[in-house]
Structure 1
Amino acid sequence: MRTCAGTFVSRVTTRKRLPLDYSVASLRLVDFLVDGLRRDGVDEARVSGALLGLGAYVGEVLVRRADAQWVDFDAAQQAYFGQPVGVRMPDGRVWNPLGKVRNCFTAGSSQESLRTFYLTLHGRGRRTAA
């Protein structure tokens, strides 16, 4: 997923010059991007690649800023989360950033903000440097 996030960021920042720098503050921009995708009433299947890239980016922010690590979900977790991968926090909790981005797309960031998700996330570690 780290490669997926990196490829997505390279593609999006080159073309649009968006400041996706893996900071917590950049998650507000991700909220804005997801809202932009849903604004035109586009079907989720049509933007699934962008949603995957954004989900990988959100997960990578957790990895870089909250001491999380990417993990493959076991069968029960895959059934519960509907995704093959997620992140494990330092306290052992697992979270589903790919699904969180899809929820944000479905409900809108006013209901499912990705920045708020990070700020209220249980089990995160604290890193001071980028």
Structure 2
Amino acid sequence: MRRHAAGFVAHATARNRLPLDYTVASLRVADFLVDGLRKGTSDRTSVAGALFGIGAYVGEVLVRRAGAEWVDFDEAQRAYFGQPVGVRMPDGRVWNPLGKVVNRFELGREESLQTFYLTLHGRGGDRGRGKTCAAL
């Protein structure tokens, strides 16, 4: 998933100077990107690749900033979350950043990716706190 996140960042920043630097503040940019996709279409399947890339990016922010690790979901988790992978927090809780991005696309602003991070249970302490929280 780390490779998917890096590929998304490379693609998204190739023509634009987007601050996708894996900080918590950059999740506002991820929200903005999903909102742009929503304005362009209501058909989730036509933007599935972009949503997957953004979800990989959100998950990688959790890995780098909150101490999470990528995990393959078991069969029951796949059925529940509707995704093949997610992240496990230091306290053992499992979260679904890919699904959270889909929710942002389908439901809109009330499903903020940045708020998802800020209210997330089980974080292992923010890494690089000065860089990530100062802009909030």
Shorter-chain TM-score above 0.5: yes
Deviates more, 1:64-73 or 1:41-50: 41-50
**One-letter amino acid matched to 2:30:** V
Task: Please give the secondary structure, in 1, of the residue aligned with 2:70.
Answer: strand
2:26, 2:42 → 1: CA distance?
A: 24
* 1:45-86 deviations in Å (ceiling 9; x for gaps): 110000000000000000000000000000110010011100
The runs of at least 4 consecutive aligned structure 1 residues that moved more than 4 Å come to none
The Cα shift of 1:11 comes to 1.2
CA RMSD, aligned part only?
A: 1.1
Distance, in Å, in 2 between the alignment partners of 1:30 and 1:41 is: 17
Using the alignment, how far apart are the partners of 1:88 and 1:50 within structure 2? 23
Which residues of 2 match residues 61-100 of structure 1 at below 5 A? 61-100=61-100
- How far off its partner does 1:39 sit? 1.1
Aligned amino acid, residue 120 of structure 1: T
Q: Which residue of 2 aligns with 1:119?
A: 118
- Percent identity over the alignment is 71
**Which consecutive residues of structure 2, in runs of 5 or more, have no partner in the other structure?**
132-136
Q: Secondary structure at the match of 2:71?
A: strand
Residue correspondences, number:
129
Structure 1 position 42, deviation (Å):
3.6
Residue 17 (structure 1) shift: 1.7
Offset, 1:128: 3.3
Question: What's the CA shift for 1:19?
Answer: 0.8
Matched to 2:21, the amino acid is D
Alignment match, 2:134: none
TM-score (norm 2): 0.91
Quote the Cα distance in structure 2 between the aligned partners of 1:77 and 1:71. Answer: 11
What aligned pairs does 1:30-109 form with structure 2 within 5 A after superposition?
30-108=30-108
- Per mean C-alpha deviation after superposition, the further-off stretch among 32-41 and 117-126 is 32-41
Q: What per-residue deviation string (whole Å, max 9, x for no partner) do you get for residues 4-49 of structure 1?
A: 0001101111221211000000001111110110013341111000
TM-score (norm 1): 0.95
Question: 1:16/1:42 Cα in 2 relative to 1: closer, same or farther (>3 Å)?
Answer: farther
